[in-house]
Amino acid sequence: MDNEQSILSKSLKDLFSAKMLQYSLVPFVLSMLTLYILFFVVAGIGLDQIGTVDIQSTQTTIENGIPHTENFSATLENTAIIKFLMSSALTSWIASFLVYTIGGFLTLYASIFVAIIIISFLTHLILKEIQMRHYRDVEMIGYSNTLESILLTLKWVGVMIVLFLVFIPLYFIPIINVIAFNFPLYYFFHKMINYDISSNICTKEEAMQIHYFYGSTLRLKTLGLYLLSLIPFVIFFASVFFVIYLGHSYFSEVRKLRQEQKTPLT
């Protein structure tokens, strides 16, 4: 692929152009609004569930040779433990902190998922702008259609969910759990962003060639972008940059492929 320094330089210049900054506002506003609502809904449910967990027990005693069974049922909300936790400022703060911390991590991962979905609706416009700036000689042919996009997205979401479930035993192993928890979402991230870009620029044959010869390079690029997105709030601003950066990579390779096809064999 082309020199990474050149691609990165062009990508940053494009990102800070007036047009791209306007595009950046859309995923930023929609993602922030969606995640703001989601965060407080999830955290609120978590706090409610702590106080409303049902406790049930059964005790059997024998009196004069006759068994007697007593059932006990209560909610955690009315127990001395919860009253103690909520009555103390320190313990109340710790309980709330834990709930909101977990909610915060879930919100971070959800933000990546939401941003990927939102930016997919802007990908064509962003790539069209890049084409007009740098690749007027490269026609955006594309090979996707709406039905295919929906089916593939559902397929990748399904695989991601299955991976999350399969990796559950690994979540309890230090260090490995970090990889196990992030791999399913990275899988979805990699598949979606590459498909969105390649399906807007290439023919299907060109996309297959690029993935065959430069698959490892593309995985390294998307891995770097994914790790960048794990920094809180970065995904809200950087999703447009991700499309610009990978867009340059695809445009440059498509240009070379088509020039090679035009060059007569000697």
Residue range 92-102, pLDDT digits in tens: 555 555 555 56
Higher-pLDDT residue of 85, 34: 34
* Residues contacting residue 238 through CB under 8 Å, at least 6 positions apart: 225, 228, 229
Look at the block and give the residue holding tokens 């991590």.
105
φ, ψ dihedrals at 57, nearest 5°:
-145, 155
Quick one: DSSP state of residue 145?
A: -
pLDDT at residue number 124: 93
Higher local confidence (pLDDT), 27 or 251: 251
Predicted confidence at residue 112, as pLDDT, reads 80
153 against 262, higher pLDDT: 153
Residue 188: phi and psi, rounded to 5, are: -65, -45
Please state the rounded mean pLDDT for residues 216-232: 90
Is residue 28 within 8 A of residue 236, CB to CB? The reply is yes
Please give the residue range of the domain that contains residue 120.
4-262
| CA-to-CA separations, 102 to 43, 106, 109, 179, 249, in angstroms, rounded | 8, 6, 11, 18, 37
Please list, in sequence order, all residues whose beta carbon lies within 8 angstroms of the beta carbon of residue 231, skipping any fewer than 6 positions away. none
pLDDT of 219: 94
Q: Give pTM, 2 decimals.
A: 0.74
Query: Are 254 and 260 within 8 A, CB to CB?
Result: no
Determine the average pLDDT of the residues in 181-185: 91
User: pLDDT at residue 67 above 50?
Assistant: yes
Q: Which amino acid is at 223?
A: L
Go through the chain and tell me how many residues it has.
Answer: 266
Lowest mean pLDDT among 3-7, 174-178, 251-255: 3-7
Q: Over pLDDT 90: what percentage of the chain?
A: 46
How wide is the angle at C-alpha 232 spanned by C-alphas 194 and 42, nearest 5°? Answer: 95
- The confidence band for 127, taking pLDDT boundaries of 50, 70 and 90, is very high
| 3-state secondary structure (DSSP) of residue 60 | strand
Q: Residues 4-49: pLDDT tens digits? A: 888 999 999 999 998 898 888 877 777 777 767 766 665 555 545 5
**In the chain, how many domains are there?**
1
Distance, in Å, from the CA atom of 100 to the CA atom of 230, rounded to the nearest integer, reads: 18
